[in-house]
């Protein structure tokens, strides 16, 4: 593990939240928060997709944090059906913002269930100006709260996703892209499943390319 990655505990609404944090040496560096899959199906901040996403942000000189929701790992509390997890994410973002008050951009990313919480947080925090939704599940969760979606972002989807039909994700993409003033990049990886097993390289390129393109705009 990179020695510059710290294990930290963030004060959350249900007690302390376990997190991993990398602080960029660059002043005014952008910040990012990454949210993990469903806790009741084994989701943690050490999920490989979450760790890979964290590393990509780190390589692009972000100050970046990934956090365990309540009841996961060393985080206090217990699963709260999304409500409490949203409050946990808000507390983690507060912490990252305090540590980086001079940040130039604020990003949110989430994988699977984490993408639902990320998008809900996006609706409440106007300072978030980009999102990355990885394997969102509009067939399971209602994303109609994204009206209007306040900012542009990236949706990454594996064509072989065994949990989410393509039509559902494409409908979400079309609905968001029809809104004025924002652009959704919809990246489907042909050989990837829901967890991007054996598609690490394609996954890396999709996210890295989007980050580099959007950072260049600032």
The Cβ of residue 70 has, within 10 Å, a number of other Cβ atoms equal to: 22
Q: Once rounded to an integer, what is the mean pLDDT over residues 50-55?
A: 98
Q: Per the structure block, which two tokens stand in for 210?
A: 């989007």
Question: Which pLDDT band holds residue 27 (cuts at 50, 70, 90)?
Answer: confident
Q: What angle do CA 140, 135, 153 make, to 5 degrees?
A: 110
pLDDT, mean of residues 13-38: 97
Nearest-5° angle of CA 20, CA 25, CA 72?
5
Average pLDDT over residues 162-170: 97
- Residue 217: predicted pLDDT: 80
Q: Please state which of the ranges 102-106, 145-149, 155-159 shows the lowest mean pLDDT.
A: 145-149
State the Cα–Cα distance between residues 160 and 166, nearest whole angstrom: 9
Share of the chain above pLDDT 70, in %: 98
Query: What is the model's pLDDT at position 1?
Result: 44
Assess contact for 127 and 106: CB atoms under 8 A: yes
Helix then strand then coil, % of the chain, to nearest 5: 35, 20, 45
User: What one-character-per-residue DSSP string does 173-194 give?
Assistant: HHHHHTSTT--EEEEEETT--T
Q: Is the pLDDT of residue 218 over 80?
A: no
Domains in the chain, CATH or no CATH each: 5-215 (3.40.50.1820)
Query: Which two three-digit tokens encode residue 74?
Result: 């060393």
Average of pLDDT values for 137-163? 96
State mean pLDDT over 128-134. Answer: 98
pLDDT band of 3, cuts 50, 70, 90: low
**Average pLDDT value for residue range 83-102:** 98
Asked whether the predicted pLDDT for residue 101 surpasses 80, the reply is yes
Q: Averaged over 3-23, what is the pLDDT?
A: 96
Q: At 216, is the pLDDT very low, low, confident or very high (cuts 50, 70, 90)?
A: confident
pTM, full prediction: 0.97
C-alpha dist (Å) from residue 142 to 67, 86, 145: 24, 15, 7
Average pLDDT over residues 6-23: 98
pLDDT at position 147 is 87
CA angle 209, 204, 155 (to 5 degrees): 70
So what's the pLDDT on residue 2?
52
Mean pLDDT, all residues of the chain = 96
């Amino acid at each position: 593990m990179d020695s510059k990655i710290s294990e930290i505990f963030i004060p959350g609404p249900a007690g302390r939240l376990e997190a991993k944090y990398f602080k960029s040496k660059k002043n005014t560096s952008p910040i990012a928060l990454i949210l993990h899959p469903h806790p009741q199906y084994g989701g943690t901040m050490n999920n490989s997709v979450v760790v890979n996403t964290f590393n990509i942000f780190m390589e692009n000189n972000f100050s970046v944090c990934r956090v365990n929701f309540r009841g996961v790992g060393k985080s206090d509390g217990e699963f709260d059906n999304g409500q409490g997890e949203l409050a946990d994410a808000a507390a983690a973002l507060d912490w990252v913002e305090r540590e980086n008050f001079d940040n130039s951009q604020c990003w949110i990313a989430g994988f699977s269930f984490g993408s639902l919480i990320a998008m809900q947080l996006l609706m409440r925090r106007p300072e978030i100006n980009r999102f990355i939704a990885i394997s969102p599940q509009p067939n399971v969760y209602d994303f109609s709260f994204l009206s209007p979606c306040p900012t542009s972002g990236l949706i990454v989807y594996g064509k072989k996703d065994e949990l989410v039909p393509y039509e559902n994700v494409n409908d979400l993409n079309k609905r968001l892209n029809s809104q004025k003033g924002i652009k959704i990049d919809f990246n489907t990886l042909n050989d990837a499943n829901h967890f991007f097993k054996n598609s690490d390289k394609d996954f890396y390129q999709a996210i890295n390319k989007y980050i580099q393109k959007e950072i260049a705009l600032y």
